[in-house]
A and B are shown apart, each in its own frame.
Chain A
């Protein structure tokens, strides 16, 4: 893709939005305040809750990283990975092995530098195993690739996680938390830091040439390659990136649990991870993070409702944890059949407003309870993603449709008629459903 072509392709997106409507200084302030309130609220809650809760919140952050990792394969490349517990688990064992056996962390002291090195090593190991799977994915697609990833997770579970020197003969490999980050609360903040880093990389990458190429490949491999996109290397690159994120998550899981045992990484949890991404909304970063955190925090949400918790524990004699699978998978079925956009689509009015667009129902920003009224009126456009989609490298007829939609948007008088924006995202990516080669 030449430089001039990039300019031409990029031109409509931001300028168009800028010409149509842009928030006033007050609007921007309100948006910044809401953003600050959201982030500040999360940090504040983590800072004041009991340690046991902070531990669970760190799990939510790790799940969000895993969700973003899966989202690359599932949402961007359009392939299913049912063996993510393999990526995450191998990285967890590698991180623990490095910290305890190689860097010599004892059971009560481990330097922060060692922790960082272990995480880097884990990320690299995740990248390597994901690359192998990516190479297979070049030849096998769709349902059969799903089967291969499943089989890969099966091998990891039955063979790799049983290697005696990794598991210390089944007892588990210890991974001491780094000095200064030892308490659950401190560790939760460490997880937030890594989550922020992963979100930043994911965000910037998707808006770069690489991200556009990957989305173009999902759309149509043959068209993308016709336009000079190197399908092979970008596809493998997407898997490698997914593996790096999974590796980071694995390392964090290892240090969170402080002992890595093979039972932590099983087939059921990998399937649950897939479902949490689906519930969050494929390809929708905000939705995936919310969905993942929801799945991780679900038992806690039950505990929050006192009478319900009492009913489940004392009357039924069941643990709230058991209901995660039931509610999670029921939500996933509902999402797939009824709301393919997932949580991400439900909250898209807020995310678009925060991104500097007009909020159709509530112009003045005070975050929180808006989506209930808003979701009925909002079409599934996804402003951020639509902009990303605009930068697609392929020039298919769908792109022409999208340009036509854009053209209509430009022709429309800018000031009044805040009605539904043109379905740019739909036109570009061809619907919200997951891609399939068949």
Chain B
């Protein structure tokens, strides 16, 4: 019920922006489209964060790195293995597999020994694991930018764009794939957690691991499952996002993505999978619209007309943090959060 109202209100709000900006060249329309496209990635990473939070009650700082590792695996298989020509459809599952393996390793090495420690301890441990991964990436691949090809090339052989044009903004095929994957995952995972036995076992573990053990549910198994799935989602986000971000560097999915994704998860309620989806889209649009406002509106200082963006550098990122602060101070349970 509430989910429907909140989603409906958000969609109506975005539609309002689109209608008001229609026909206005340089208006906010294209920015909303960009916002939805980038927001989908935040949502995808946020899904993983929410999943881990539901299962282990901790913020997983390594969530972004699952993606970077998967992207690096695909990169190595496609670009650096010269003897065999590995196609994308084979490299992608391999990348996901490596991400899942990393997630399981992290669960075994870091999470399980600290299962009963204070959550802050586990938080610092996930930070250490994320930095360890970034460090290994730096040692292996040097701190240089690399390029990963998208699933479907952005331009065809003759140089024409492959994507769909919406409001004068050409949406790359990769963007459409991301939005589709995110929507599908949110529905599938939502079903999983409300209807299946394993899903309910995961929820039970997160609420009281001792009681869960008493009724005969393998806590270790659900924990493994949670971290494996989260790593899968993170890996998917990395492989899908890195090609449109343009560069693959060590820590690529942590430096710019993790904080907006956390904001999206908190906005969605930290425990709600549809909330993470919605939060991602909203945060993407907030960021993009702040960018638009920063470029459009001007202030006159000392008789010089300056765009807002140059007076407040990094305005889109500041907008995200303002949302985070407001949510935490005013509505800590988020849009769709509940204790489950």
Q: B residues 56-111 with Cβ under 8 Å of A?
A: 57-59, 109-110
Are A143 and B58 within 8 A (Cβ)? yes
Instruction: State whether the Cβ of A151 lies closer than 8 Å to any Cβ in chain B.
Output: yes
Are A82 and B127 within 8 A (Cβ)? yes
Inter-chain contacts of B305 with A (CB < 8 A)? none
Q: A residues 95-111 with Cβ under 8 Å of B?
A: none
Are A140 and B131 within 8 A (Cβ)? no
Are A268 and B251 within 8 A (Cβ)? yes
- Of B134, B328, B329, which contacts A268 at CB under 8 A? B134
Instruction: State whether the Cβ of B138 lies closer than 8 Å to any Cβ in chain A.
Output: yes
Are B119 and A80 within 8 A (Cβ)? no
Asked, given contacts A143-B58, A154-B259, whether A337 binds B113 with beta carbons under 8 Å apart, the answer is: yes
Asked, given contacts A159-B317, A333-B125, A337-B125, whether A436 binds B120 with beta carbons under 8 Å apart, the answer is: yes
- Of A79, A80, A139, A333, which contacts B132 at CB under 8 A? A333
Are A80 and B120 within 8 A (Cβ)? yes
Q: A residues 195-233 with Cβ under 8 Å of B?
A: none
Distance (whole angstroms) from the CB of B334 to the closest CB of chain A? 11
Digit string of A322-334 for contact with B (CB within 8 Å is 1, else 0)? 1111111110110
Are A142 and B120 within 8 A (Cβ)? yes
Instruction: State whether the Cβ of A148 lies closer than 8 Å to any Cβ in chain B.
Output: yes
- Of A147, A267, A433, which contacts B324 at CB under 8 A? A147
Are A326 and B328 within 8 A (Cβ)? no
Closest residue on chain B to residue A141 by CB atoms: B120
Instruction: State whether the Cβ of B318 lies closer than 8 Å to any Cβ in chain A.
Output: yes
- Of A136, A150, A435, which contacts B259 at CB under 8 A? A150
- Interchain CA distance A325-B143 in the complex, whole Å: 13
Asked, given contacts A147-B324, A163-B313, A435-B118, whether A268 binds B131 with beta carbons under 8 Å apart, the answer is: yes
Interface residues of A (CB under 8 A from B): 78-80, 82, 136, 139-140, 142-144, 146-148, 150-152, 154-155, 158-159, 162-164, 266-268, 271-272, 274-275, 278, 318, 322-330, 332-333, 336-337, 433-436, 438
A-B contact list, 6 entries, CB within 8 Å:
A144-B332, A275-B131, A337-B113, A337-B125, A433-B118, A434-B118
- Of A139, A162, A266, which contacts B313 at CB under 8 A? A162
Inter-chain contacts of A152 with B (CB < 8 A)? 321
Inter-chain contacts of A318 with B (CB < 8 A)? 139, 142
Are B129 and A329 within 8 A (Cβ)? yes
Inter-chain contacts of A150 with B (CB < 8 A)? 259, 262
Q: B residues 278-332 with Cβ under 8 Å of A?
A: 310, 312-315, 317-318, 320-321, 324-325, 328-329, 332
Distance (whole angstroms) from the CB of B74 to the closest CB of chain A? 23
Inter-chain contacts of A332 with B (CB < 8 A)? 124-125, 128, 131
Inter-chain contacts of A275 with B (CB < 8 A)? 124, 127-128, 131
Instruction: State whether the Cβ of B30 lies closer than 8 Å to any Cβ in chain A.
Output: no
Instruction: State whether the Cβ of B266 lies closer than 8 Å to any Cβ in chain A.
Output: yes
- Of B117, B120, B263, B317, which contacts A143 at CB under 8 A? B120
Closest residue on chain B to residue A326 by CB atoms: B135
Inter-chain contacts of B129 with A (CB < 8 A)? 329, 333
Inter-chain contacts of A433 with B (CB < 8 A)? 117-118, 121
Are B131 and A328 within 8 A (Cβ)? yes
Inter-chain contacts of B131 with A (CB < 8 A)? 268, 271-272, 275, 325, 328-329, 332
Q: Chain B at the A interface: mostly helix, strand, loop or mixed?
A: helix
Instruction: State whether the Cβ of B9 lies closer than 8 Å to any Cβ in chain A.
Output: no
- Of B114, B127, B263, which contacts A271 at CB under 8 A? B127
Asked, given contacts A329-B131, A337-B125, whether A438 binds B118 with beta carbons under 8 Å apart, the answer is: yes
Instruction: State whether the Cβ of B136 lies closer than 8 Å to any Cβ in chain A.
Output: yes
Closest residue on chain B to residue A167 by CB atoms: B313
Are A330 and B119 within 8 A (Cβ)? no
Closest 9 CB pairs of A and B: A325-B135, A436-B118, A162-B313, A158-B314, A326-B135, A159-B314, A329-B132, A332-B128, A329-B131
Closest residue on chain B to residue A146 by CB atoms: B123
Instruction: State whether the Cβ of B255 lies closer than 8 Å to any Cβ in chain A.
Output: yes
Are A142 and B132 within 8 A (Cβ)? no
Most chain A C-beta atoms within 10 Å of own C-beta, residue among B125, B135, B251, B310 = B135
Q: Chain A at the B interface: mostly helix, strand, loop or mixed?
A: helix
- Interchain CA distance A322-B142 in the complex, whole Å: 9
Asked, given contacts A147-B266, A333-B109, whether A434 binds B121 with beta carbons under 8 Å apart, the answer is: yes
Are A278 and B124 within 8 A (Cβ)? yes
Distance (whole angstroms) from the CB of B38 to the closest CB of chain A? 15
Inter-chain contacts of A328 with B (CB < 8 A)? 131, 135
Closest residue on chain A to residue B317 by CB atoms: A158
Are B120 and A435 within 8 A (Cβ)? yes
- Interchain CA distance A213-B251 in the complex, whole Å: 40
- Of B114, B118, B325, which contacts A148 at CB under 8 A? B325
Distance (whole angstroms) from the CB of A335 to the closest CB of chain B? 9
- Interchain CA distance A290-B328 in the complex, whole Å: 36
Distance (whole angstroms) from the CB of B340 to the closest CB of chain A? 17
Closest residue on chain A to residue B109 by CB atoms: A333
Distance (whole angstroms) from the CB of B80 to the closest CB of chain A? 16
Q: B residues 116-164 with Cβ under 8 Å of A?
A: 117-121, 123-125, 127-132, 134-136, 138-139, 142-143
Are B120 and A333 within 8 A (Cβ)? no
Inter-chain contacts of A147 with B (CB < 8 A)? 59, 262, 266, 324, 328
- Interchain CA distance A82-B254 in the complex, whole Å: 14
Closest residue on chain B to residue A321 by CB atoms: B138
Distance (whole angstroms) from the CB of B260 to the closest CB of chain A? 9
- Interchain CA distance A62-B114 in the complex, whole Å: 32
Are B313 and A436 within 8 A (Cβ)? no
Inter-chain contacts of A266 with B (CB < 8 A)? 255
Distance (whole angstroms) from the CB of A337 to the closest CB of chain B? 5
Distance (whole angstroms) from the CB of B318 to the closest CB of chain A? 5
Are B128 and A151 within 8 A (Cβ)? no
Most chain B C-beta atoms within 10 Å of own C-beta, residue among A80, A271, A435 = A271
Inter-chain contacts of A82 with B (CB < 8 A)? 127
Are A337 and B262 within 8 A (Cβ)? no
- Interchain CA distance A329-B317 in the complex, whole Å: 28
- Of A155, A274, A325, A333, which contacts B110 at CB under 8 A? A333
Inter-chain contacts of B120 with A (CB < 8 A)? 78-80, 142-143, 146, 434-436
Q: B residues 249-268 with Cβ under 8 Å of A?
A: 251, 254-255, 259, 262-263, 266
Closest residue on chain A to residue B324 by CB atoms: A151
Distance (whole angstroms) from the CB of B5 to the closest CB of chain A? 25
Inter-chain contacts of B138 with A (CB < 8 A)? 322, 325-326
Distance (whole angstroms) from the CB of B164 to the closest CB of chain A? 31
Inter-chain contacts of B57 with A (CB < 8 A)? 438
Inter-chain contacts of B332 with A (CB < 8 A)? 140, 144
Are B127 and A274 within 8 A (Cβ)? yes
Closest residue on chain B to residue A337 by CB atoms: B113
Are B110 and A148 within 8 A (Cβ)? no
Closest residue on chain B to residue A154 by CB atoms: B259
